[in-house]
Amino acid sequence: MNDYIIEARNLTKDFNGFQAVDGLSLKVKKGEVLGFLGPNGAGKTTSINMMVGLLRPTSGKVLIDGKEVQDVERGMIGVCPQELVLWDSLTCRESLKLMGDMYEVPKDILHSRVEQLLDDLFLTDKANTVVSKLSGGMKRRLNLALALVHEPEIVVLDEPSEGLDPQSRRVLWNYIRSLRNEQNKTVILTTHLMDEADRLSDRVAIIDHGKLLRLDTPENLKKEIGEGDVVEIQLSDPGKNKEVIKAMEELDQVLSVIELDKIINVRALDAVGKLPRIMGRVEKVGVRIADLSVRQNTLGDVFIELTGTRLRE
Amino acid sequence: MKFISIAIKDFKELIRDRRGWVMILVFPMFFMLVFGFAFGGMGQSNVPHDIAVINHDKGATLPLTNEKVNFGDNLTKILEDSKYENSETHIFNVTKTNESKADELLKQRQVDAALIIPENFSQAVVALIETTIQSQTGIGSGEVGTSQTPNITATLIIRGDTGYVGFGVSQGILVGILEQYQDKLISEVLKNVRGTNGTEQPKFIDSKVELIAGTETFTSFDFLAPGMMVFAILLLATTVAATLTREVETGTLARLKLSKMRSFDLLFGGLIPWSLVAAAQVLILFVVALLIGFHWQGGINSLILAIMVGILGGIASIALGMIIAAFAKSDRQAANLGTLITVPASFLTGAFFQLPQVVIGNFMGHPFQIYDFLPWTHALSALRATLTFGGGWDAISYQVGVESLLTIILFVIGVFLFSWTRLRPEK
């Protein structure tokens, strides 16, 4: 039995000389949540569009459950796009029924499924409200519901929690977990929220410049990039950051030192035990510490380590 | 059936989009009102209409008196002498000529219409008189025992450009006069048979003309009102283009493409509500036109035919909308592009004013003008023929046939281009 439901083989996409995706190969397991991370313009959405058959790759191929993506039955994949893709003049119920009809869901099943989705995503009260009159959070939840009304095997969620308040985000996270745990769906989740990817993903793929940089569990990625803790130091004079970083790099057993948002991040094993030596170095430079904290390594640290701190547009 | 769900979706979106209604109905209604007031005949004085008369009549012998008469000359004289009611203005400026010269005058728009009187016109009139006398007295006009009168029909032809307002007015009046001519003829015969002592020469023809109801107040607006309907139908292309492009722009088309929906479902599903809109446009604008003085010449049959013509024109506009949506990058661009195309197209169909004749060939025995490549030109001619001139299916069958043919061609192009650019997986 094939454990992998999606297999991308050496996918490339070239837009008039710009290589958006460059030899991407990855396999997605059945019933897992795969976090798909990358900076803006890294090629995430392009990769996903190729994987669901909306975009033709320049080269390479995508297999869904062993079949080429263009030969796969349309109802197998559900896509919740990054943007709100809704019919403003239709109500929530009408929108869901329309998409159910488009996927040829039998009427009696569709009726109960629509009501269930409205209930699960807290939209029952707004079932007969036209989309243009919904709040942003409601629209997001409807956007998700439209991707699920035909009960696809594979659910692609492209930045689903963008712009959601913490309450709506919690509803969404619980629902994504239920998709995996209760319905055994395969979920591909792209997000810029490292916390979201860390909490929800079984495995995480990090992509940049169209290339797959890493694919592993969040725990393994954190271990691989840097075990131990991170000491965050904010100096009273950030102009001295570079001087301090140079001094830190000379210390034994310090794994890495980077500057992030004018804060120096020092990664080291047993960081608490090394704190006196770290602070001693700062004093030697002759600058005062405005703030200092110690925290555990996060997926965000991994992401920055791999993709750098340079701003992407 | 998925196309029905798409049709219902489009219909709901359509009726909930108030701004769309403004474009589809209020805008053309506004034009209809403006043109109604401008060309509805208010303060308009009567002017003579230029016509050519070709008299082929060989004459006949009158029953009872055996007098040689030429009713073709008689009719021509009546046309020359006819004046507007309570006015000294003649109704027609008559040019007596032959057929080839008349055709030339028609093409140069020096005359609005040409009346061709056939060889047997007088014989037909005589036959009518004899029949009328026989039915009243039971005796024949000739010798006793030869009372059987042959049934002769003379067909008078009113020739002209059916897309020309001048023709519309002139032919309307001519038809009225010809009906009056025959009615008057019969009533004069009856009067003479029943009430005269035989000393007075029967006066079969009276030169006094009263126009039939409707034509005496026939105005340019009656010719322009169908143009407004075609303008409205053409504007559908703009709305369809904007709607389809919005579907692309908002990503809902991509969502539908991921589903089991086929191109047919989307395009045929969209065709249904938009065709209904075209039918509604014709009906509503027709009512508006009637309210502000449109002289409807046809019966309910003409209205049904007009709606059918409107639906066909609507399908052509939907096809044009698809073509625009195949290339427009945003709904705003689609709307602008649509307006840029539909407004000049309205002018080219002759919806607002008459265009010069540019005949480029002949198609099925009809002159084919450069504007005839547009299906809406034929829609307009058909609407005028049926609503303004009261013509039936025979009067519009050629126009509807060509309109259908051009609509099918345009629709195939529209479906191909839209499917090619929008419904395939992106490259």
Final residue of a structural domain among B211, B228, B243: B211
Strands (E), A16-71: 18-29, 33-37, 59-64, 67-68
Give A145: exposed, middle or buried? Use CB within 10 Å, 0-12, 13-18, 19+.
Answer: buried
- Domain match, B24 and B103 both: no
Question: Which CATH number goes with the domain that contains B110?
Answer: 3.40.1710
Cβ contact (<8 Å) for B258 and A74? Answer: yes
> How does residue A311 score in pLDDT terms, banded at 50, 70 and 90?
low
- Domain match, B186 and B224 both: no
Residue B44 forms part of a structural domain: no
Cβ–Cβ pairs < 8 A, chains A and B: 69
Q: Are A31 and A185 in contact (CB under 8 A)?
A: yes
- Domain match, B115 and B160 both: yes
Q: What does the pLDDT read at residue B193?
A: 67
Closest C-alpha to A158, from A79, A96, A65, A89:
A79
Q: Does A94 touch chain B (CB under 8 A)?
A: yes
Closest C-alpha to B315, from B396, B246, B406:
B406
* Interfacial A residues in 217-256 facing B (CB < 8 Å): none
Residue B427 forms part of a structural domain: no
Distances in Å between the Cα of B388 and the Cα atoms of A6, B42, B220, B285, B296 are: 66, 18, 11, 14, 6
- Domain match, B366 and B235 both: yes
Cβ contact (<8 Å) for A104 and B2? Answer: yes
* Interfacial A residues in 65-84 facing B (CB < 8 Å): 70, 74-75, 77, 79, 81, 83
- Domain match, B401 and B315 both: yes
Question: Does the ipTM exceed 0.85?
Answer: no
Instruction: Return per-residue pLDDT of chain B as tens, 427 residues.
Output: 899 999 999 999 988 988 777 877 787 888 888 877 776 654 455 678 899 999 999 988 877 778 888 889 988 998 888 887 667 778 889 999 998 898 888 877 888 888 999 898 888 888 877 877 777 665 544 433 344 556 677 788 888 876 677 777 788 788 778 877 877 777 777 777 665 444 443 333 333 333 333 444 567 788 888 999 999 999 999 999 999 999 999 999 989 988 999 888 998 999 999 999 989 988 998 998 888 888 787 788 999 999 999 999 999 999 999 999 999 999 999 999 999 999 999 999 988 877 777 888 888 878 888 999 999 999 999 998 888 878 888 889 999 999 999 999 999 999 999 998 988 766 6
Final residue of a structural domain among B211, B243, B268: B211
Closest residue in chain A to residue B14, using alpha carbons only: A89
| Contacts of residue B146, Cβ cutoff 8 Å, sequence gap at least 6 | B140
Domain count within chain B? 2
- Domain match, B126 and B199 both: yes
Residue B339 forms part of a structural domain: yes
Rg (CA), chain A: 23
Residue B294 forms part of a structural domain: yes
pLDDT digits (tens, 9 = 90+) for A204-238: 999 888 999 889 998 888 877 666 688 889 998 88
Give A311: exposed, middle or buried? Use CB within 10 Å, 0-12, 13-18, 19+.
Answer: exposed
Residue B29 forms part of a structural domain: yes
- Domain match, B308 and B367 both: yes
- Domain match, B128 and B232 both: no
- Domain match, B68 and B198 both: yes
Residue B9: which of A56, A70, A90 has the nearest Cβ? A90
Final residue of a structural domain among B172, B187, B211: B211
- Choose the weakest-confidence range: A154-158, A196-200, B391-395: B391-395
Residue B265 forms part of a structural domain: yes
Residue B181 forms part of a structural domain: yes
- Residue A186, strand partner residues: A154
- Domain match, B160 and B260 both: no
Q: Does B17 touch chain A (CB under 8 A)?
A: yes
Q: Which of A14, A62, A83, A89 to mutate to test the interface with B (most CBs of B within 10 A)?
A: A89
Chain A positions in Cβ-Cβ contact with residue B255 (cut-off 8 Å): 79, 81, 85, 99, 146
Residue B260: which of A55, A70, A102 has the nearest Cβ? A102
Range of the domain at B358: 2-39+219-422
- Domain match, B276 and B338 both: yes
Chain B positions in Cβ-Cβ contact with residue A89 (cut-off 8 Å): 12-13, 16-17
> Cβ atoms within 10 A of the Cβ of A164, count?
18
Q: Are B380 and B371 in contact (CB under 8 A)?
A: no
Location of structure tokens 């198609």: B363
Residue B170 forms part of a structural domain: yes
Q: Does B19 touch chain A (CB under 8 A)?
A: no
- Domain match, B124 and B245 both: no
The distance of Cα A87 from the centroid of its chain, to the nearest Å, equals 26
Q: Are B130 and B193 in contact (CB under 8 A)?
A: no
